[in-house]
């Protein structure tokens, strides 16, 4: 597999560098890094990260991981309000370009990123772990479901819809987390986005992930006063249960 984009709405459609590297300027300018000791680095980038910088960093880091020159990385970020369009995005699902729109190489359709949403860019070497894309996506779902359970929320997967969903009663279901993946040389990038306390009205400019008839929710919308720090701790704990330990 040289460079495969996973279209998560239909799995069958599957068709940072080291600190001394000059491409590491994003990592060295504000990223809290944990040295790798057997597991992936778990790193928090404070502040709002411009999306193009995130993509540039991921592209470089994935190349370094594939070449064996850098460890795997779990990169936790927030973005300013933006929309991103995956490889399956339908132009009709961009209802109003309220924010900048970026075309991206990940699988999936339109999604929103913004303050109050925890984005985790997942850069793992599946060749070393398990070169099975379906199993990887299942594990991403399991990771999010486990983290939500620690926070008191029952997240669920749906066979016909991507992401993690919360049943609200009366047949209503809202999405609380999105998944979008790309894989190059069996190294993953892009990842997941979990709604903590974003402005949910910002989703109104798109049909999120192309799914009509369902809404979006967040931990705050569900009545939980949960901080990003709480969410990060739950994500880290659940990750270790699903994927194995991270670097100390």
Cα(50)–Cα(188) distance, integer angstroms: 21
Report residue 28: phi and psi, to 5°: -85, -5
Instruction: Sheet with 110-113: list strands edge to edge.
Output: 101-103, 82-85, 110-113
Q: Are 109 and 224 in contact (CB under 8 A)?
A: no
- 98 part of the active site: no
For residue 25, the surrounding DSSP H or E stretch is helix 25-28
Q: Supply the angle between the helices 228-242 and 133-150 in degrees, to the nearest 10.
A: 130
Nearest to 209 by CA among 110, 100, 119: 110
Query: CA end-to-end span of the chain, whole Å?
Result: 31
Given 44, 77, 209, 246, which residue is catalytic? 209
Q: Are 218 and 118 in contact (CB under 8 A)?
A: no
Quote helix, strand, coil % in the chain, to nearest 5. Answer: 30, 30, 40
Nearest to 166 by CA among 152, 183, 179: 152
Tokens of 226: 């949960």
Catalytic residues, by residue number, are 209
């Amino acid at each position: 597999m040289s460079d495969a984009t996973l279209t998560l709405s239909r799995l069958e459609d599957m068709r940072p560098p080291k600190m001394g590297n000059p491409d590491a300027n994003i990592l060295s300018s504000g990223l809290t890094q944990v040295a790798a000791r057997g597991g992936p680095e778990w790193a928090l980038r404070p502040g709002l990260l411009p999306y193009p910088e995130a993509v540039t960093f991921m592209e470089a880091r994935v190349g370094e991981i594939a070449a064996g020159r850098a460890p795997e990385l779990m990169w936790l970020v927030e973005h300013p309000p933006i929309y991103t369009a995956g490889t399956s995005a339908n132009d009709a699902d961009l209802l109003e370009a309220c924010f900048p729109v970026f075309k991206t190489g990940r699988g999936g359709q339109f999604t929103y990123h913004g303050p109050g949403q925890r984005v985790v860019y997942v850069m793992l070497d599946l060749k070393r772990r398990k070169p099975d894309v379906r199993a990887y996506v299942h594990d991403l779902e399991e990771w999010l479901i486990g983290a939500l359970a620690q926070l008191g929320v029952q997240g669920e997967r749906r066979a016909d819809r991507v992401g993690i969903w919360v049943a609200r009663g009366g047949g209503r279901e809202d999405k609380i987390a999105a998944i979008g993946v790309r894989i190059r040389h069996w190294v993953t990038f892009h990842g997941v986005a979990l709604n903590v306390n974003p402005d949910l009205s910002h989703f109104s400019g798109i049909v999120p992930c192309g799914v009509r008839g369902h809404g979006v929710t967040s931990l705050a919308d569900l009545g939980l006063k949960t901080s990003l720090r709480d969410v990060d701790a739950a994500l880290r704990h659940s990750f270790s249960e699903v994927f194995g330990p991270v670097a100390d």
